Amino acid sequence: MVFNSQLPLLRVRNLCKQYGPSCSACARLTGPEQGSNICPECGSVVACFGVSFELLPGEVLGIVGESGSGKSTIIRCLNLDESPTAGEAFLSEVEGGKVNLFALSSQRKRFIQSSLLGVVYQSPHLGLNLDFSAGANVAERLLIQNNTPEYRPIRKRTSLLLNKVQVPVKRMDEPIKVFSGGMQQRIQLAKALAPRPTLLLLDEPTSGLDVSVQARVLDLIASLQRETGVSMLVVSHDLGVIRLLTHRTLVMKMGRVVEQGLTDQILEDPQHPYTQELVASVL
């Protein structure tokens, strides 16, 4: 894989998210060595702590780890849904990567979220508005691009996008709830890709699906990534998903990154005992 530029698209520095009062001992008393992410002093949950990484344009980065290791918290913070307790994130397309995204006004954050970021959640009800039709859900992201949008071009692009993710265009005006789980995930994908984002965040995109549907959705994601060259951050507990999609991987446990490197390397030659356990338990 050759990346067009060595300038990172996304730089994340020292991302921390704590739920609760948080004290000075939180960092010391939690983590994989302590075997807990709940601070015994103040009772805060340290969801993630000191997470730093870079993502190059066109690169796919995986985050793997067990439930509660802080993977989804990172996605929520980077999608600007939640503010982290500490840390910085820089996106090369926002003022040349010189401004911390978390420090921007909520109005700017909303703009960045709707034009530069795309997200696919594990369950469709988080990413889709179930009251609207499939087409409207995808169109929603296109309608904010312009102060006075045009109906027909948006409708055309919506059907194009749905076609791309293999949802029958003649069903585009049906409500979300009549679609199968796999279809709903693909509609979420179309919605995420609608404004041509530079960064796609996938939070367990296939975890709720059965194996054959899972394979087809993963194939679709991989081919769309190659086609559009979008950078992706894929969160999963499933090493199969990570192996199939990602170039590089972070392994997380108890809110900390315990190992990172090329995906093949991590899967073939895991260094950290937790990664070894993880790889051994699946493969």
What token pair was written down for 163? 């076609």
Specify the residue, 106 or 180, whose C-beta has the smaller distance to another protein: 106
- Could you tell me the CA-to-CA distances from 23 to 3, 37, 55 in Å, in that order? 41, 13, 31
Please state the three-class secondary structure of 197-237 as a single string.
CCEEEEECCCCCCCHHHHHHHHHHHHHHHHHHCCEEEEEEC
Whole-angstrom distance, CA of residue 23 vs CA of residue 5:
41
Q: In whole angstroms, how close is the CB of 79 to another protein at the nearest point? A: 14
The smaller minimum CB distance to another protein, of residues 100 and 115, is found at: 115
Question: CB 221 → another protein: shortest distance, Å?
Answer: 24
- In angstroms, what is the minimal distance from the CB of 112 to another protein? 11
Q: Quick one: 88 or 140, whose CB is closer to another protein?
A: 140
SS3 57: coil
Residues at the interface with another protein (CB under 8 A): 106-107, 109-110, 114, 129, 132-133, 135-137, 139-141, 143-144, 147-152, 154-155, 173
Rounded to a whole number of angstroms, the minimum distance from the CB of residue 26 to another protein is 29
Looking at beta carbons only, is 39 or 154 nearer to another protein?
A: 154
Q: Which is nearer to another protein, 3 or 111 (CB)?
A: 111
Instruction: Give the Cα separation of 57 and 5 in Å (integer).
Output: 7
How far is 24 from 272, CA to CA, in rounded Å?
27
CB 113 → another protein: shortest distance, Å? 9
